[in-house]
Homo-oligomer: A and B are copies of this chain.
Amino acid sequence: MELYSISSPRTHRSGDQPTSALETHLGYWLRLVSNEVSRAFASVLHEQGMSVAEWVAMNQLAAGTALTSAKLASTMGMTRGAISKILDKLDSKKLISRSISSVDSRVQFLSLTERAKRVLPRLTSVADGNDNHYFAALDSDEKASLYKLLRKLAEFHQMTRIPVE
């Protein structure tokens, strides 16, 4: 197993096929793997008639992290307009309800319906299953190591935008 070459990322080892410069970047492999894992999950969600953005929104509501539209928008890194449409979709599926604040009638409080609370665990186990499937290629130590490295990058660069795509 060759090591990732730090000092000369574009060095070609003798006998290699001509490769594109893309593969010399860690970001390339990160994106390759991430796309596959996310695509598979999005595809399963899609079969359930749900987008990733809707799934994320539901989770934020379940966690009590973002209970208004504006809060959701900032948490999810999207405009209020985009959030509004996502909430429309969840509403039409009877997964959320919106109730006007008695204190400030511009504000809506969002909550999951009973139906959503029944649906969410099933979706969560789908997400668990997807994660388990893809990372089963790694043993416990490797998983812990990957987790640590990713968390370190996220922390170092103050990455806070919840992935929605």
Q: A-side interface residues toward B, CB under 8 Å?
A: 1, 3-4, 6, 9, 18-22, 25-38, 41, 56, 59-60, 62-65, 124, 127-128, 130-131, 134-135, 137-138, 140, 142-154, 156-157, 159, 161-163, 165
Copies of this chain, complex-wide, total 2
A–B complex contacts, Cβ < 8 Å, 10 sampled = A6-B140, A18-B64, A19-B63, A21-B62, A27-B37, A31-B37, A31-B38, A33-B34, A33-B150, A134-B157
CA distance A9 to B26 in the complex (A): 27
Please pick, from B130, B134, B150, B157, the residue contacting A29 in the complex, using a CB distance under 8 A: B150
Contact between chains at B59 and A27 (CB < 8 Å): no
Contacts of A32 in B (CB 8 A): 150, 154, 159, 161-163
Contact between chains at A30 and B150 (CB < 8 Å): yes
CA distance A53 to B85 in the complex (A): 28
Contacts of A3 in B (CB 8 A): 144, 147-148
CA distance A145 to B31 in the complex (A): 16
Contact between chains at B65 and A26 (CB < 8 Å): no
With A131-B26, A157-B134 already in contact, the answer to whether A163 and B20 are too (CB < 8 A) is no
Which residue of A25, A63, A142, A165 has the most chain B CB atoms within 10 A of its CB atom?
Answer: A25
